[in-house]
Amino acid sequence: MRLALVPRELAAETVADLLHHNMIVRNAKISRSEEIVLIPVNEAGEKYCISIGLKVIEGETHGRKDESPHRLIQKALDLPEEKMRLLPHKWELFGDLAIIRLDERLREHEEEIGRAYAKALGVSSVCVDRGGVKGEFRQPTVDLIYGETSESVRLENGILYKMDVCKLMFASGNVDERARMGELDCKGEIIVDMFAGIGYFTLPLAKYTGAEMVYACEKNPVAFKYLQDNIRLNDVTGKVCPVLGDNRSLPLAGIADRVVMGYLKGTRDFLWKGFELVAPGGVIHFHETYNVKEMPHALTRDLTLSSGGREYKVETLREVKSFAPSVSHYVADIKVYD
Ligand SMILES: C[S@@+](CC[C@H](N)C(=O)[O-])C[C@H]1O[C@@H](n2cnc3c(N)ncnc32)[C@H](O)[C@@H]1O
């Protein structure tokens, strides 16, 4: 049996990633030590793990006792039946931590609930997402309820994303869009990522597409610090130029073969800058939320108002995810001609 050796803090995310791609030997046991988790992988998994820098060895495994995490969580807790029923069946993994949503009626039991989820899911920390993101920097309302730290590293499509989940948002629903950015052919291109965050789109663009340089602009100093860490972590120093500040002040008019505008609910107010940055023949990836009934007219209106009379064409328009009833997150790929 081939076993991938994974550092404990990356284990939860690696397992999720490998399962998603059918690369785990499912009836074998995942074993743990203090520092390392041994994950049984098939041939495709072995190749993938080696490609992202993990070591794979030959070793022994045992049959797995199949008990769902939710069952383990219930067994670990001593709560009245009506409260047991409120325990969440879903969670999101971010590296070595899990994020859950918790009914207010469970607030007084948060610490023991956190401990039970940590043990059952094999993570070191558990956070509660109280819902929503706030302000210009899109800060989440997330609290640490178990463990030492809310900072971890997520492995997704071979990219490592490090951040603090209590301070910054990570839209797991944008996973396909992050993957799509990494699949583009950007050989020799100059790219400007106007809302870089921790490197959501910058990192796959710099790592996989052949881009010459990605200018990654981020206004929030906390996100910017993680952007710098992630550039080093993913070995793309020299391919990314991180810029701390407001993208509206970028002095890069007309240089970009590609502009990425990965913001929501107000990106239209920055669209004029996207047009200013893009070179003739370039592309803008424009993200925005729209009422589904108003599409595509509302997009046409925004483009007309911001294009400064330049000629352009919406090459593709995709719905990334549903955002609220009748409101969706869209991304438009806009080719700018002159
Ligand atoms: C949170 S990200 C959006 C989510 C991301 N697309 C994903 O896949 O999860 C948006 C980032 O834009 C940054 N931002 C907002 N206004 C900005 C501006 N005027 N200039 C530069 N960065 C800005 C925010 O601080 C934030 O980090």
For residue range 136-178, what is the model confidence (pLDDT) as tens digits?
Answer: 999 999 999 999 999 999 989 889 999 999 999 998 889 999 9
- CATH 3.30.479.30 assigned to 2-58: no
Kindly state the average pLDDT of the residues 261-265: 94
Instruction: Determine the residue type at 267.
Output: T
Class of domain 69-149: alpha beta
Residue 19's pLDDT is what? 84
Beta strands in the chain (DSSP E): 2-7, 31-32, 36-41, 55-58, 92-94, 97-100, 125-134, 139-146, 151-156, 159-164, 190-193, 213-218, 240-244, 256-261, 278-291, 312-324, 327-336
> Whose CA is closest to atom 27 on ligand 1?
197
Q: How confident is the model at residue 182 (pLDDT cuts 50, 70, 90)?
A: very high
Name the residue of 138, 194, 261 to mutate for ligand 1: max ligand atoms within 8 A of Cβ: 138
State yes or no: pLDDT of 258 exceeds 80: yes
171-336: which CATH architecture? 3-Layer(aba) Sandwich (3.40)
> Whose CA is closest to atom 18 on ligand 1?
246
Kindly state the average pLDDT of the residues 101-107: 96
Residue 65's pLDDT is what? 54
pTM: predicted TM-score of the whole model, two decimal places? 0.89
| Rounded Cα gap, residues 314 and 334, in angstroms | 4
Name the residue of 159, 195, 286, 320 to mutate for ligand 1: max ligand atoms within 8 A of Cβ: 195
Residue 62's pLDDT is what? 59
State yes or no: pLDDT of 329 exceeds 70: yes
Return the domain boundaries, the chain: 2-58, 69-149, 171-336
Return the ligand 1 atom nearest residue 174 CA: 8
Altogether, the residues listed in the chain come to a count of: 338
Q: How confident is the model at residue 245 (pLDDT cuts 50, 70, 90)?
A: very high
